[in-house]
Amino acid sequence: MKKVKICPKCGQPMLFSFALSNKEYICVPCAYGEEFFNDSDSKLITDKEYDNLSKKYRKDLQKIGLQTAKNGGGRCKICRDKFDCKSCKQIEKHELEFWGKNNDTLQSAK
């Protein structure tokens, strides 16, 4: 079992990631992040559930992380600040599948 933070906007489990600057907990469907020390609720989920979420959202988090690195002075392990290696180019081509999709649903419902 793994204790995870819960998104205060949609109630979904948040992933631990450095994809957004100064936001270590990320809700991919809401495109929302919380700082490491926060008062969001937590709940227990299985390791398998967490791993499945991580796998599902991995490419979206990589894309957002790459954008954050480019905008914030971050570096790639391979090409440093050029962002022109095979890995960076592949991540850049990815079309976001899940990032902010709850926001799209919420906006269209209003």
Residue 9 pLDDT greater than 80, yes or no: yes
Whether 20 and 33 have beta carbons less than 8 Å apart is answered as yes
Alpha-helical segments (H) within 13-85: 47-72
Whether 74 and 68 have beta carbons less than 8 Å apart is answered as yes
Question: What is the spatial distance between Cα 27 and Cα 9, in angstroms, rounded to a whole number?
Answer: 9
Residue 108 pLDDT greater than 80, yes or no: no
Domains of the chain: total: 1
Q: Average the pLDDT over 25-31 and give the result.
A: 96
Query: Could you read off the pLDDT of 42-86 as tens digits, one per residue?
Result: 999 999 999 999 999 999 999 999 999 999 878 999 999 999 999
Find the domain containing 27 and state its range.
2-109
Mean pLDDT of the chain: 91
Residue 109 pLDDT greater than 50, yes or no: no
pLDDT for res 74:
87
Instruction: Categorise residue 83: left if φ over 0, alpha if ψ from -120 to 50, beta otherwise.
Output: left
pLDDT for res 20:
94
Q: Average the pLDDT over 97-105 and give the result.
A: 81
Question: What is the spatial distance between Cα 89 and Cα 35, in angstroms, rounded to a whole number?
Answer: 29
What interhelical angle do 47-72 and 86-93 show, nearest 10? Answer: 110
